[in-house]
Amino acid sequence: ADMDLFGDLRRMNKRQLYYQVLNFAMIVSSALMIWKGLIVVTGSESPIVVVLSGSMEPAFHRGDLLFLTNFHDDPIRAGEIVVFKVEGRDIPIVHRVIKVHEKGNGNIKFLTKGDNNEVDDRGLYKEGQNWLEKKDVVGRARGFLPYVGMVTIIMNDYPKFKYALLAVMGAYVLLKRES
């Protein structure tokens, strides 16, 4: 089967191959531009995140896609769902704000907890940290699409699936005939 594939590629003229590669590059750069645009519009470095754990059920389930904004003038309120980063952890956490302390100078400290968790998040924060501050927040949930992010979870859980998917997509782009 491998020989057929290479024969096909050889028969396809160089111009067509070049065209397909350019086409692919256009798709990738468009996606990046849209992503950058979203970052600017939403004020969040990660405007879209996938829920990876069940800690927020039943509000959000694994695989739900969340849309975030992060406007600094917006006050953080108890009951809001925030996405925050903790030092020493790569993946941001999506949890609900349960307590807010506002100081006179406008500084805010707050505590979070997963709806489905027994205890608050102090065990997740870095050692000696009891509260989150605004600088820890990546964004705040503004809307979601259920289960759309399952593909991301499958790719995280089964790395081989990711490579298979990329191979299939690559082959499709290269071999797609102009109809």
The pTM of the full predicted model, rounded to 2 decimals, is 0.73
Instruction: State residue 13's pLDDT score.
Output: 74
User: Domain coordinates of the chain in residue numbers?
Assistant: 48-146
**pLDDT under 70 in the chain at which residues?**
1-12, 177-179
Which one is catalytic: 44, 64, 121, 136? 121
Residue 161 CB partners (closer than 8 Å, separation 6+): 154, 155
Which one of the listed residues 44, 55, 64, 136 is annotated catalytic? 55
Annotated catalytic residue, options 95, 115, 120, 136: 95
- Verify whether residue 55 is a known catalytic residue: yes
CATH class of 48-146: mainly beta
For 164, the enclosing helix (H) or strand (E) is helix 159-175
pLDDT at 102: 86
- Name the helix (H) or strand (E) containing 20: helix 14-42
